[in-house]
Amino acid sequence: MVVDSADEKQADRLFRALANPTRRDIVKRSMRDDYSVSALARCYTTSFAAVQKHVALLEAARLVSKRPRGREQIVRGNTEAIETARRLLDQFEEVWRERIDLFDKVLNQPEKEGPDAGDQH
């Protein structure tokens, strides 16, 4: 029941990290160009520490990675995490497809009863 595995926690972190406009913007920027943490901070009106925390959160969700360059940390967007999120979304549509398949199966085998009780939408 809601298993609460490591994968689930990672899914939590992923979607949680994406649920903030500043963080989404950071992901986009760091996908497009190289940014140090302070360079990112200059893009927003919030404090450096706030941006730093956003980056840390994104890093925990594996949406970005940091690598040191001299005294600064270069933030880099990670497409694999996006792929992971996409696969998670696929799971939802997969179970939806199961419903459709089941519905079709009932439609194509009307030997038992008429589908009058079918309350589609």
The single residue among 18, 29, 66, 84 that binds DNA, judged by CB under 7 A, is 66
The single residue among 38, 50, 91, 103 that binds a copy of itself, judged by CB under 8 A, is 91
What does the alpha-carbon distance between residue 59 and residue 101 come to, in Å, rounded to a whole number? 39
Contacts of residue 79, Cβ cutoff 8 Å, sequence gap at least 6: 31
Q: Which residues pair with 72 in a beta bridge?
A: 69
Under the criterion CB under 7 A, does residue 46 sit at the interface with DNA?
yes
CB-CB contact of 13 with 61 (8 Å) = yes
Under the criterion CB under 8 A, does residue 80 sit at the interface with a copy of itself?
no
The single residue among 12, 48, 56, 72 that binds a copy of itself, judged by CB under 8 A, is 12
The single residue among 68, 92, 111, 117 that binds a copy of itself, judged by CB under 8 A, is 92
Residue matched to tokens 């079709």: 104
Under the criterion CB under 8 A, does residue 112 sit at the interface with a copy of itself?
no
